[in-house]
Amino acid sequence: MPRYEYRCRTCGDTFELSRPMAESAAPASCPAGHDDTVKLLSTVAVGGTSAPAPSGGGGCCGGGCCG
């Protein structure tokens, strides 16, 4: 289940909630009971490697058949 981060405008605390995506925009109360909260924009880092692009060979323009 995704985790969403919120900040309370009343007390300034930030907190996280696990909730279904369908409820991500639903209002959330802070742990201190305040209702004036805003959902923060979260960034996701995805690591990995990318395969190198193929070079030369294949196709008309890359295979030397043009010209």
- Categorize the per-residue pLDDT at 24 as very low, low, confident or very high, splitting at 50, 70 and 90: confident
Percent of the chain with pLDDT over 90: 55
Model pLDDT, residue 50: 64
Tell me the pTM. Answer: 0.60
- How far apart are alpha carbons 19 and 14 in whole angstroms? 16
Q: Give the tens place of pLDDT for each residue, 28-44.
A: 999 999 999 999 987 76
pLDDT-based confidence at 65, cuts 50/70/90? low
Q: What is the DSSP string of 21-57?
A: GGGTTS----TTS---EEEPPP--------PPPP-S-
